[in-house]
A and B are shown apart, each in its own frame.
Chain A
């Protein structure tokens, strides 16, 4: 217990951050030039951190595995970014955004961090507009807003269905400017394979050049991991193909605690799975729930007829449709939070009312909105999403309702960090989706972009300065230290070990196996027996992987199979930790639903007495169970209640 110090500043929640900023240690400009920072990952959190730290005068090295920093998967975020601007005069405030986020996260996030997030949210919009992000506007020239799940105000800023793209291109352009100014060095097509710790502090990384295969050493005074989430543990997810957990997993093995690994977000509106060779799932933005109504047939005869193409969805009359979200949650309707919407879809499909070939889909219907607003309005709002749907599914969503089903989308869990966003390894900071901090057990829509940019633009530039202030006399590190040599040796020997297996099955075979286990037993609904079974099965996959995986080619060349093998080996181990965490948490909260713990109406039933804590897992060694550390959560500014969206 004593190992975790969240370092939340004292005082009322509303003044913590300003007090903190008033009293931290700073680094003067001439000293900043002498301090090096490594940033791994160039999504919203990484690119904004690299740009901001570079602008302050630190020497930054930014790494990404993609061929350009602009391609990080933040780019795919569609719907929008929240900020408590209250431009709509509809009752929004910093407190309300803070409150909605804590409640949406089912009271499993820290008050201090979340308040700070809400507090800086407005500055993110200012900053992005100044960088040229073309947010949607009204005819008067002011910024437009839309509403999103889990809120009763309209606080979401958006750039068509490409908000993540535009925000990332803004951060990327700011970072590019710092590259030109010589403050940031950009290392593309590089993958971090270990973190180097010298005298108890993070002082560098080992990275593989993905073109030449060379294993490189890079040193710095501090390291930031902004490497995104680990949804690809499930094989099928809305993440990019390359999104991986290797950086955070290596950090975990070097002593960084892993917070709440079982908190996974299953997004309710994705295009359903179509076949065995599917490589990924495509999200349809939550913003569609503003104008789309979700339903399934009321009668099973209609379900049968639909499945055999004897009936079209539009032939089913109003009274034979079950708008189950509107029925169950009249106050929030189709805009309930994601975890609630996903479970409700699963409940209907499990009960036999699902549509589509597999019965694992529900309708998202725009007919009423098209009638009310006109097709052109719907087209302007969601045109690119409708086009994407049509290209993938080969059906016209203006004429027939979309079919959707939940899919793995985001991971609230991640490396444990304190208020400074520093992990349990001094000098190792973690930002964006890679950390566990702000979303509790469920993230609200349009809050991931907010958190990534808050961390990078407005939090790390302060907290890292505070950390680095006593490092100004530490000279630049040389990479010939024994710690670097040892880390490099380990990385190389693991690569050799992978090649030496010379088994019979491609990497993807094992990844699919893992994904099936995770989706079945550690997915939308979990229970004790299933989780125990999953742990056994995952261990079997691990054993088989290390006996029978086949990797072609060699290290000294472009080798995607080798890249995948390293990542999948880490996913397997992380999958086991997720199952262990889910097994330990004997309650239902947010995206973590344990079937044993539910209300008579089937809602998540928390156990605040025993589980109002952050589970921070500490690595012991291979073959031994990790150690569970608990950080109790305290709520002072918010009264803890049963979540209610009725």
Chain B
């Protein structure tokens, strides 16, 4: 298969970026999208040009490293897959493919298609954990957890932290990412003890880092490669309101609980 690629090229965080048009030929339809870029990059290197920089690692859809805004959609045209599992058979021979990085103030471009997603780590550090040290833990079966709760918690915990929800959102909101983590813990008895402080701390950090607000358009859910449900946002809002109305506790500093 042959394609025309319009790729966002940007030398570094400070440089001005622009689209550059290239041709790539002879791609197998069973290649993944990133394998197509590998072939293309090998051609660039052989010509002595800088290859296109993009983030990727596991190439099996679970590490959350790969990104790419392809023809206006995070992770491209196929549903419920990351870019690394998108295959060229989803395109037509001769297609023009536009490839951009995630666009969000909270995810600045590092180079070409690579962005900085440390903001997600910072949100987790603000409260996305259960405060237990290693050791001195009761037996794993000491607390019964209804299967339905464990399953719903697992649904939320499946988030891979890729940032497609932010990229898809016109407000660049991180609500789905934060809500998935809040829900994952809120549905488990182990996470209940500090649920109130957790939701307040994580939401405060999200706001501080420059993510936008949620206006319920649902683009995040539609584009999430792991199909994380927008119901999690409703659950988080309940948790958040409950926390605000409830004890009116001052939000402890990050990690300080």
Q: Which residues of A contact B (CB under 8 A)?
A: 48, 51-52, 55, 66-73, 75-76, 85, 87, 122-123, 125-132, 134-143, 159-160, 162, 165-166, 169, 172-174, 176-182, 186, 188, 211, 238, 240-242, 274-275, 277-280, 282-283, 387-388, 391-392, 394, 457-458, 461, 504-506, 508-509, 550, 552-553, 557-558, 560-561
- The answer to whether A179 and B125 touch (CB under 8 A), given A123-B137, A508-B38, is yes
Are B62 and A241 within 8 A (Cβ)?
no
Interface centre among B11, B133, B144 (most CB of A within 10 A): B133
Find B118's partner among A85, A188, A394 (CB 8 Å cutoff).
Answer: A188
B95 at the interface (CB under 8 A from A): no
Are A67 and B117 within 8 A (Cβ)?
yes
Are A130 and B62 within 8 A (Cβ)?
no
Are A557 and B12 within 8 A (Cβ)?
yes
Are B125 and A241 within 8 A (Cβ)?
no
Residue numbers in A under 8 Å from B45 (CB-CB):
506, 550, 552, 561
- The answer to whether A558 and B53 touch (CB under 8 A), given A127-B134, A134-B153, A141-B145, is yes
Residue numbers in A under 8 Å from B63 (CB-CB):
66, 71-73, 75-76, 240
Residue of A nearest to B139 (CB): A126
Min Cβ gap A15→B in Å is: 20
Min Cβ gap A169→B in Å is: 7
Min Cβ gap A454→B in Å is: 12
Find B161's partner among A70, A141, A274 (CB 8 Å cutoff).
Answer: A70
Min Cβ gap B107→A in Å is: 11
Residue numbers in A under 8 Å from B110 (CB-CB):
211, 558
CA–CA, A485 to B48, complex, Å?
33
Are B121 and A68 within 8 A (Cβ)?
yes
Residues 81-113 of chain B: 1 if any A CB is under 8 Å from the residue's CB, otherwise 0? 100010101000000000000000000001100
The stretch of B169-177, B185-193, B211-219, B230-238 in contact with A is B185-193
CA–CA, A553 to B158, complex, Å?
38
Are A136 and B137 within 8 A (Cβ)?
no
Residue numbers in A under 8 Å from B143 (CB-CB):
129
Are B120 and A68 within 8 A (Cβ)?
yes
Find A129's partner among B31, B190, B256 (CB 8 Å cutoff).
Answer: B190
Q: Which 5 A/B pairs are nearest by Cβ-Cβ distance? A: A180-B255, A141-B144, A173-B129, A52-B134, A55-B133
Find B188's partner among A55, A85, A132, A391 (CB 8 Å cutoff).
Answer: A132
Find B53's partner among A123, A174, A560 (CB 8 Å cutoff).
Answer: A560
Residue numbers in A under 8 Å from B185 (CB-CB):
132
Q: Which residues of B contact A (CB under 8 A)?
A: 11-12, 28, 30-32, 34-35, 38-39, 41-42, 44-46, 48-51, 53, 55-65, 78, 80-81, 85, 87, 89, 110-111, 114, 116-118, 120-121, 124-126, 128-135, 137-141, 143-147, 150-151, 153-154, 157-158, 160-161, 184-185, 188, 190-191, 254-256
Residue of B nearest to A139 (CB): B147
Residue numbers in B under 8 Å from A55 (CB-CB):
133-134
Min Cβ gap B17→A in Å is: 14
Residue of A nearest to B34 (CB): A279
CA–CA, A48 to B135, complex, Å?
12
Interface centre among B46, B48, B53, B63 (most CB of A within 10 A): B63
Residue numbers in B under 8 Å from A280 (CB-CB):
59-60
Given A391-B81, A552-B45, 15 other A-B residues pairs in contact with their CB atoms under 8 A: A51-B134, A67-B116, A68-B161, A70-B161, A131-B132, A140-B144, A141-B144, A172-B124, A274-B30, A279-B34, A282-B59, A506-B45, A557-B11, A558-B12, A561-B51
- The answer to whether A277 and B135 touch (CB under 8 A), given A67-B65, A126-B140, A138-B147, is no
CA–CA, A182 to B61, complex, Å?
32
- The answer to whether A70 and B64 touch (CB under 8 A), given A176-B128, A560-B51, is yes
CA–CA, A123 to B132, complex, Å?
14
CA–CA, A506 to B50, complex, Å?
12
18 residue pairs A–B, Cβ–Cβ below 8 Å: A52-B133, A68-B64, A68-B117, A122-B140, A129-B137, A131-B132, A165-B158, A173-B128, A174-B132, A177-B125, A180-B126, A182-B255, A188-B118, A241-B59, A394-B30, A461-B134, A504-B46, A506-B42
Min Cβ gap B227→A in Å is: 10
Residue of A nearest to B150 (CB): A137
Min Cβ gap B13→A in Å is: 9
Residue of A nearest to B138 (CB): A126
- The answer to whether A134 and B130 touch (CB under 8 A), given A394-B87, A506-B45, A552-B48, is no
CA–CA, A590 to B166, complex, Å?
47
Residue numbers in A under 8 Å from B11 (CB-CB):
557
Are A75 and B114 within 8 A (Cβ)?
no
Residue numbers in A under 8 Å from B144 (CB-CB):
140-142
CA–CA, A504 to B28, complex, Å?
25
CA–CA, A52 to B135, complex, Å?
9
CA–CA, A282 to B137, complex, Å?
36
CA–CA, A130 to B111, complex, Å?
39
Min Cβ gap A221→B in Å is: 20
Residue numbers in A under 8 Å from B28 (CB-CB):
274-275, 277
Min Cβ gap B154→A in Å is: 4
Are B57 and A73 within 8 A (Cβ)?
yes
CA–CA, A177 to B122, complex, Å?
10
Are B35 and A126 within 8 A (Cβ)?
no
Min Cβ gap B23→A in Å is: 17
Min Cβ gap B146→A in Å is: 6
Are B59 and A240 within 8 A (Cβ)?
yes
